[in-house]
Structure 1
């Protein structure tokens, strides 16, 4: 005989008694849970390239970013739109390409040109999310503006925090290997005494965790902006000790590498700023030490999510504003259109979504805004120029024909580049100052410029057309 379902009484007023099966109550709770808003943990690293364990670098120690990659989807071919802090961040956060924001340098605020644009965090704030920023999300000059608002956008946030730690207060102790260059664009470093918590990024982490704990019962958009590994490379000594300087591997270089490279393509002049191999190893060791220091802060954030039982309802996005050359082609830092500068780490974890997978599709930082809007069912008031990555989050190998576009300004001319899964094609001053074509299937280090190779004329013409499509003339 079939048993009747267990029931509980629910009284309405004093006259009615309605009986509900437990199964119906359970279904109702599931529906309510499914309607609960996702939280967003939006983690930005500054000047981080793909020298990360989960991206295949076995020398650099990044156990916590690697752990995050196992929680979501790692994008192996993600690209920034302009390899310089403010242009890149302005593009990502407004959902508009640099030719629309008009931001090509570090001084102009994007609202000068787009006064009414609704930014990514502002969209969440306008939809009853608690929106908070700790550290560098919009542009700050590092190290000069640490502890200030920099080029912040106040209407994006309900709350903001600008920590300042010993990496800033002990700036006078920094060793500058390139003394002709200011600290923010120098190969300079300091291995400090003391703990992580005394550094700006440690303070950023602790403040972000405090906000997370305080706001865990309401939906939040928590933007956590780390200042490292941006130069000067400052971190506690223990992170430097992870990398014996004599064991630091330098990137592969070949003789006459630059013979077929346009002069406009080069940011670092002379090559390596004249540094010999020992000093380059010293600088690279310090860069890697600050990556591991920043990675440890990511680990604290992930631990706090778990401790506060927020992991199952929080979307995590980890990104860097651009890549970073560490000696490839004699180049250092950003502001070039070589792969190491244009490519960025991007990891997105969605509760209940795909875990531990990688996507080889070409995507852009510009795609983050529409992705988060779709995942959270929010409608941006302006048209976005990126494309939602939800399809790739569900199936990282899904069909995808979108290329990635990156540009840079070199004095008064532009370099513009298009990246497909196989090729990178670049024009300097619309080709008048040089053209580059690299076949990444056969030449991942971009040593062989095929732009003048007649056997590649068909693909060059095709990519030139794709480039023009991505950079239409502006009125």
Structure 2
């Protein structure tokens, strides 16, 4: 264990009490890391987006008020399992091997929690794991079966002999219950690191029964690009299967069970019965009663065209925000526990998502694309002793999480981690920071049919290369996009072929190739 600057920070905050110099007690830093699945920054009210103003997240905002809000936090591959592997290893997808949603994580890659265990930490994980590899580096864990279900999910623990055991309740509440129970009965003589990984607000956005009517009378603002016509974009925007207008399932996504047999993608149609099957008879009764009432007018007078897309958007965004309501309430329980047990002074709190999400921007739901709303992710960190209520505009990425948590614990970063500790940004001691980010998406052909692409983003511009052989009915693709994010923050005007941007294009091409060589990217 190295001499961490955080011990000094804690010492300073602990040295002064009522004007009297007290003994400097250097406590090890505890870690509470909370990660949701597909939480868009647009739906976290500390970011000030119009959606979150109507669906506020006061408990998540508490973390921001006590810490730092990162306005330019991004992922290196916007899809769940690669992002989770990046959190654990501090590496890019091609380095740890989990480039796709399925298998791939290299078994020899060490997780940051293993280093913490070696440093005397007690470690735990609760909620979503979603990796083909077995959990390692955790003293205990309680994880969902695959994605997990919103209602009455199944869990596996080290003691369950490989079996998943169903528990009654709402997933977000159950995960928090387990984390709190572990915190209460942990060894108080050791520092802790606990990962709380929620399913919400992952598709298909099933709210807790108590929130089924929440926001029902709210009209959420539509994004400016809900009806984006992709006029300056390439083939990839004509063939994806992630549009609000065309690809949301009436039953599975929009909760209109009466329309289960309406034409939709086969996997969506098949998913509805599975999603609803875990509810108890009483839960199902309350569920059906609520949605039958809400669907009555729609079924009696079904809208068409633009109005139908607008109706779908409202139903989607309301259910999405309802699931986040549960997350916010449960985060509040964890914060209350820390406050009530005098743990705020030596616990670093991190809140993030495995990636961002489209809330109708570019007519999309889901993630995968390098456009801002999926590429960017919410990130809030409260570090004891650091200045509160601050904002950071530096370019940070999920490769930085593992190095940051090791740094917080006073543990040296291993050489194979690609990321950098965010502690210097949090403490205001950073002299120099990166000025660009690399991104690559590999998972095609797959759900959503998002084409392979990679790119680079600096503080103003973004260059994307779409590439690869087309599968099924798609064409082969080899095209480029360039965006001026200052003049075109919604990314609707591809200026790659604009002569005014020739020098920018040339500079970014060179930068991108240098970055790929540096990172030894072969695809």
Q: TM-score, length-normalised on structure 1?
A: 0.80
Unaligned residue ranges in structure 1 (runs of 5+): 1-25, 140-149, 172-196
Does the Cα contact within 8 Å between 1:360 and 1:396 map onto a contact in 2? no
1:317 to 339, 342, 350: 350
Q: State whether structure 2 residue 389 is matched by structure 1 residue 418.
A: no
Q: Deviation at 1:341?
A: 0.6
Q: State whether structure 2 residue 196 is matched by structure 1 residue 224.
A: yes
Change (3 A) 1:280 1:254: closer
Looking at structure 2, the residues matched to 229 and 73 of structure 1 have their Cα atoms a distance apart, in angstroms, of 23
1:162 to 135, 143, 146: 143
The 5-angstrom pairing of residues 22-421 of structure 1 reads 29-30=23-24, 33-34=25-26, 36-51=27-42, 52-57=44-49, 58-110=53-105, 113=106, 115-136=107-128, 138-139=129-130, 151=132, 153-162=134-143, 167-169=150-152, 198-215=169-186, 216-244=188-216, 247-253=219-225, 257-264=229-236, 268-269=240-241, 271-274=243-246, 276-395=309-428, 399-409=432-442, 411=444, 414-421=452-459
Matched position secondary structure for 1:42: strand
Looking at structure 2, the residues matched to 157 and 206 of structure 1 have their Cα atoms a distance apart, in angstroms, of 18
Change (3 A) 1:265 1:470: farther
1:429 to 462, 467, 473: 467
Moved more, 81-90 or 378-387: 378-387
Unaligned residue ranges in structure 2 (runs of 5+): 1-19, 155-167, 247-307, 446-450, 469-475
1:391-425 C-alpha deviation (Å, 9 max, x unpaired)? 21122996533322221125376311222221222
Does the Cα contact within 8 Å between 1:284 and 1:326 map onto a contact in 2? yes
Looking at structure 2, the residues matched to 237 and 337 of structure 1 have their Cα atoms a distance apart, in angstroms, of 34
Q: Deviation at 1:320?
A: 0.6
Q: Deviation at 1:268?
A: 3.9
Match of 2:270?
Answer: none
Q: Deviation at 1:256?
A: 6.1
Change (3 A) 1:386 1:288: same
Q: State whether structure 2 residue 511 is matched by structure 1 residue 466.
A: yes
Looking at structure 2, the residues matched to 135 and 415 of structure 1 have their Cα atoms a distance apart, in angstroms, of 30
Looking at structure 2, the residues matched to 46 and 405 of structure 1 have their Cα atoms a distance apart, in angstroms, of 22
Match of 2:161?
Answer: none
Looking at structure 2, the residues matched to 125 and 401 of structure 1 have their Cα atoms a distance apart, in angstroms, of 30
Does the Cα contact within 8 Å between 1:266 and 1:336 map onto a contact in 2? no
Looking at structure 2, the residues matched to 408 and 212 of structure 1 have their Cα atoms a distance apart, in angstroms, of 37
Q: TM-score, length-normalised on structure 2?
A: 0.73
Matched position secondary structure for 1:344: coil
Matched position secondary structure for 1:82: coil
Does the Cα contact within 8 Å between 1:88 and 1:322 map onto a contact in 2? yes
Looking at structure 2, the residues matched to 170 and 127 of structure 1 have their Cα atoms a distance apart, in angstroms, of 34
Q: Deviation at 1:279?
A: 1.6
Looking at structure 1, the residues matched to 243 and 149 of structure 2 have their Cα atoms a distance apart, in angstroms, of 32
Looking at structure 2, the residues matched to 236 and 396 of structure 1 have their Cα atoms a distance apart, in angstroms, of 43
Change (3 A) 1:69 1:397: farther
1:366-411 C-alpha deviation (Å, 9 max, x unpaired)? 1111122222220244421011212211229965333222211253
Looking at structure 2, the residues matched to 205 and 380 of structure 1 have their Cα atoms a distance apart, in angstroms, of 30
Residue-pair matches, total: 408
Looking at structure 1, the residues matched to 514 and 93 of structure 2 have their Cα atoms a distance apart, in angstroms, of 15
